């Protein structure tokens, strides 16, 4: 016997026709969430000193770190840290929010370390390094969001996650001679419901 179920939504209703057989099965949708870390929540940890600047004027302004071409021995790097949300289930992908004054390829590098709740010493045992060359969309001075990549080490809800992000301008893949303005970083994960 066919059954019809009507599911209300914002614009009206969706109708799904059966038949189905459910035997003690719970269906939970996948929920993707993001933790956004703006530039003003980061601190410089390496390289030639840079100053957090403001783009635009109040109230339409945002903070940004101008990362210039820098020597291989001391790339300009920024630090941020946060607790892994308690609804964390799986995944862990980083995105970079930036703008730049040129259209050449830029290489971003993120190093991620995890401090487990039981760790007593330096929390560097579980780490992963992500590096990716990003080609901007061809429009200068526009905010862009690009995926850097997924973390390789396991992440656990409630643990401390710390990251350093740098523009690896000394790498052969980074051929951009212009300043890149880092506006923020996004951590995306799959959440439990």
Q: How confident is the model at residue 184 (pLDDT cuts 50, 70, 90)?
A: very high
Can you give the pTM of this predicted structure?
A: 0.77
Determine, yes or no, domain membership for 16. Answer: no
74 vs 90: which has the higher pLDDT? 90
Q: How confident is the model at residue 12 (pLDDT cuts 50, 70, 90)?
A: low
Determine, yes or no, domain membership for 187. Answer: yes
Q: How confident is the model at residue 155 (pLDDT cuts 50, 70, 90)?
A: confident
| Segments forming the whole domain that contains residue 113 | 28-191
Residue 190 has pLDDT above 70, yes or no: yes
Determine, yes or no, domain membership for 17. Answer: no
Determine, yes or no, domain membership for 166. Answer: yes
Number of domains in the chain: 1
Q: Which CATH number does the domain housing residue 161 bear?
A: 2.60.120.260
42 vs 16: which has the higher pLDDT? 42
Residue 136 has pLDDT above 80, yes or no: no
Determine, yes or no, domain membership for 12. Answer: no
Determine, yes or no, domain membership for 64. Answer: yes
145 vs 3: which has the higher pLDDT? 145
Mean pLDDT of the chain, nearest integer: 79
Predicted local distance difference test score (pLDDT) of residue 33: 93
Determine, yes or no, domain membership for 22. Answer: no
Specify which of 5-14, 92-101, 108-117, 134-143 reaches the highest per-range mean pLDDT. Answer: 92-101
User: How much is the average pLDDT of 40-48?
Assistant: 90
Q: How confident is the model at residue 35 (pLDDT cuts 50, 70, 90)?
A: very high
Determine, yes or no, domain membership for 18. Answer: no
3-class secondary structure for the chain?
CCCEEEEEECCEEEEEECCCCCCCCCCCCCEEEEEEEEHHHCEEEECCCCCCEEECCCCCCEEEEEECCCCCCCCCEEEEEEECCCCEEEEEEEEEEEEECCCCCEEEEEEEEEECCCCCCCCCCEEEEEEEEECCCCCCCCCEEEEEEECCCCCCCCCEEEEEEEECCCCCCCCCCCCEEEEEEEEEEEECC
């Amino acid at each position: 016997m066919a059954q019809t179920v009507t599911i209300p939504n914002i614009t009206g209703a969706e109708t799904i026709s059966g038949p189905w057989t459910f035997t003690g099965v719970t269906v939970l949708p996948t929920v993707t969430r993001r933790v956004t870390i703006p530039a003003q929540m980061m601190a410089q940890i390496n390289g030639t000193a840079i100053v957090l600047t403001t783009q635009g004027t109040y109230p339409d302004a945002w903070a940004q770190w101008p990362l210039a071409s820098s020597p291989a021995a001391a790339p300009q790097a920024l630090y941020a840290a946060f607790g892994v949300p308690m609804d964390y289930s799986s995944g862990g992908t980083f995105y970079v929010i930036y703008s730049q004054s040129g259209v050449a390829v830029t290489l971003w590098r993120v190093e991620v370390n995890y401090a487990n709740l039981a760790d007593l010493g330096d929390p560097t045992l579980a780490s992963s390094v992500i590096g990716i060359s990003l080609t901007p969309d061809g429009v200068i001075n526009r905010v862009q969001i690009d995926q850097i990549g997924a973390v390789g080490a396991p992440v656990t809800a409630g643990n401390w996650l710390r990251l350093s992000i740098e523009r690896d301008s000394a790498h052969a893949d980074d051929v951009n001679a212009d300043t890149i303005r880092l506006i923020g970083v996004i951590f995306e994960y799959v959440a439990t419901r």
